[in-house]
Amino acid sequence: MRSNVCVAACVLALWGTSAQQAHAQLDQEFAIWAAVFASAQLFDDAPSPTFWFDAHGRRGDSGTVAIFRPGVGYAFAPWVTLYVGYAWIPEWIDATGERRDEHRIWEQLIFDYHGDQGIWVQSRTRFEQRFANFGTGTAHRFRQLVRLNYRPKEDIPVGIAFWDEVFLGMRAADWAKRGFDQNRAHLGLAIYSKNKPFRTEVGYLNVYVDRQVNRMSHVLAIAFFLSYTGKKPPKWGR
């Protein structure tokens, strides 16, 4: 009987120690992220050349991050678009006052489905080749985002916006890991304007980053989306 009690006590002690260590290895913070996404399709009907640009400002406990990501692409159909582009990511570290720069070449494939009941489903698959001035080597990363937006009716200006994105390192560098890197999950409101190409999304974003000391960011996320569709393609010849 005493031996069973001792074993149980040891198990509880080990479990408590492991739980404390796991909790101690999770660094949590509150952050604010703001972003602007803009896309333009040259012609009204697909196939058509397209253009992409997004810019971000992110403020957390350790510093400030900015992202500038232009790209060009081609809409093969109304529901599938392929892009390629470049991204510059400067980060200002509060503790040291230094600025670190990351550069990325990226490719992405987007599938869109617009249902009849106000449902919009999107899949965005992105590959990144990453370079940095604070390390050596080229890191390759895979990102998969799945989005689900719901708007009850066209005359209702507010809907629900949910998306989740998984990051996986495909090739490591001395500053970037291989394997599971992070996950981002967002739930919030989508606010539509009378100008259909424009909408705003505001919500809570949970960012879990897998490191030696894991980090979980509780983010107030604000994003502005603008899309433009051009005129009919020109008719060549007579």
Is residue 235 included in any domain, yes or no? Answer: no
Is residue 160 included in any domain, yes or no? Answer: yes
Q: Cα(33)–Cα(55) distance, rounded to whole angstroms?
A: 11
Domain count, the chain: 1
Task: Specify the 3-state DSSP secondary structure of 86.
Answer: strand
Is residue 62 included in any domain, yes or no? Answer: yes
- pLDDT of 235 reads 54
Is residue 9 included in any domain, yes or no? Answer: no
Is residue 15 included in any domain, yes or no? Answer: no
User: Which residues pair with residue 15 across a beta bridge?
Assistant: none
Is residue 14 included in any domain, yes or no? Answer: no
Q: Cα(216)–Cα(209) distance, rounded to whole angstroms?
A: 6
- pLDDT of 17 reads 37
Query: Which CATH number fits the domain that encloses residue 37?
Result: 2.40.160
- Band (196; pLDDT cuts 50, 70, 90): confident
Q: Cα(88)–Cα(161) distance, rounded to whole angstroms?
A: 27
What would the two tokens of residue 111 be?
């599938």
Alpha-helical regions (H) of 1-90: 2-24
Domain that holds residue 182: 28-229
What would the two tokens of residue 42 be?
């040259």
From residue 41, give the alpha-carbon distance in Å to each of 76, 185, 213, 226, 227.
11, 28, 43, 12, 8
Is residue 2 included in any domain, yes or no? Answer: no
Q: Who wins on pLDDT, 11 or 26?
A: 26
User: Is residue 20 scored above 50 in pLDDT?
Assistant: no
Is residue 10 included in any domain, yes or no? Answer: no
